[in-house]
Amino acid sequence: MEEPHASGRVIRMNSSYVELVDGIYSNRGMMSAFGVFAVGLSAFVVISLFLTIVTHYLDPSWDRHDEFEMLSSTISGAAILSLLIAGIVAFNRTIGEWFRYTHYPMRFNRRNRMVYVFRGDDTVLEAPWDEVYFTLRVNSQAFGVRTLGICGLVLKDHQTVEEMFVFGYASSSRDDCLRHWEFIRRYMEEGPQAVIDAPGFRYCLPIADKRETLYEGWIALVSKDAWNPILKWLMLPFHVLFFIGRLVCRVTSKVPLWPADVEAVCRIAPDDPYVRDSSTNPVGYR
């Protein structure tokens, strides 16, 4: 049996539930970076087109012989680029990066043995722990390297998957993924006392009911490459770009709040000795 590892993905834990981040939290901002570049470039071209019109009208030597052609081509080009901008914004909203939520948490309630997944469309997936099928999946594959992750499958029947949710930890190491799964499994089956001292649980992510700070957002992006002194420097220019995208996510998105009925079944006892959240973090990471 693998030893449990929290993998730095816990938002908060107590005797009632453990709350974890979603599968794209650490990479949030990557797609936004491309979106920011595309929107910025398109907006620049649109502004340039209209400045061209203004320049022509302010030029006293212009005889307006090509006025119709200029206006029609400029307005057509601007309309196409405006539609492109709208499409980029809509795409980033659809994937949950812009004008949605800062993260999409999931809770594992050991008292009522239920799993709650914040969908991001103002609804919550609720599924019995004992009826969810948990498995490893290939999150991505590039240059012969596979990145594995854990997902939960809610089955409609024995052959049909009704819904899927992806855990916040991913790795090329199968054993590391299984250790993270063991952290959650042991919490649900044995309680918080079984994982309170697990590796990777020194810090809770300080994003419960609030936005991450700029520093925390940067750490979330670069932490997965920090172990390799060469890779972290090679990735630095990309991390800077992704960080810009992450800032857009942060500014345009709301902090997720669980519905009242979920909070009601996740009440924490006043004298719970196993409460862990960002307030119990070392100073400087709260």
List the beta bridge partners of residue 12: 19
Which of 26, 20, 16 has its CA nearest to residue 6?
Answer: 20
User: Percent of the chain scored above 70 by pLDDT?
Assistant: 99
Which of 120, 180, 131, 182 has its CA nearest to residue 153?
Answer: 131
Identify the helix (H) or strand (E) that includes residue 263. helix 260-265
Residue 186 is predicted with a pLDDT of 97
SS3 at position 141: strand
Residue 233 is predicted with a pLDDT of 86
pLDDT digits (tens, 9 = 90+) for 11-69: 999 999 999 999 888 888 988 999 999 999 999 999 998 898 888 888 888 888 888 88
Residue 1 is predicted with a pLDDT of 66
The conformation of residue 210, written as its DSSP 8-state character, comes to S
pLDDT at 2 over 90: no
Sheet strands side by side (includes 114-118): 10-13, 17-20, 106-109, 114-118, 124-128
Task: Using alpha carbons, list the distances in angstroms from residue 234 to 125, 200, 231, 238, 240.
Answer: 39, 26, 5, 8, 11
pLDDT digits (tens, 9 = 90+) for 249-264: 999 999 999 999 999 9
More confident residue, 17 or 223: 17
> How many CB atoms are located within 10 Å of the residue 8 CB?
21
Residue 278 is predicted with a pLDDT of 92
pLDDT at 142 over 80: no
Contact 26, 8 (CB under 8 A): no
Across the chain, what does the average pLDDT equal? 90
Helical packing angle, 236-252 and 30-58, nearest 10°: 80
pLDDT digits (tens, 9 = 90+) for 150-171: 999 999 888 889 999 999 888 8
pLDDT at 114 over 90: yes
pLDDT at 4 over 90: yes
Which of 257, 178, 248 has its CA nearest to residue 1?
Answer: 178
Query: Once rounded to an integer, what is the mean pLDDT over residues 123-148?
Result: 88
Residue 115 phi/psi, 5-degree rounding, is -115, 130
Query: Residue 111 — pLDDT band, cuts 50, 70, 90?
Result: very high
Contact 28, 46 (CB under 8 A): no
pLDDT at 144 over 80: no
What's the token pair of residue 75? Answer: 């307005």
pLDDT at 200 over 80: yes
Query: Once rounded to an integer, what is the mean pLDDT over residues 189-204?
Result: 94
Residue 182 is predicted with a pLDDT of 96
The burial of 4, by beta-carbon neighbours within 10 Å (0-12 exposed, 13-18 middle, 19 or more buried), is given as buried
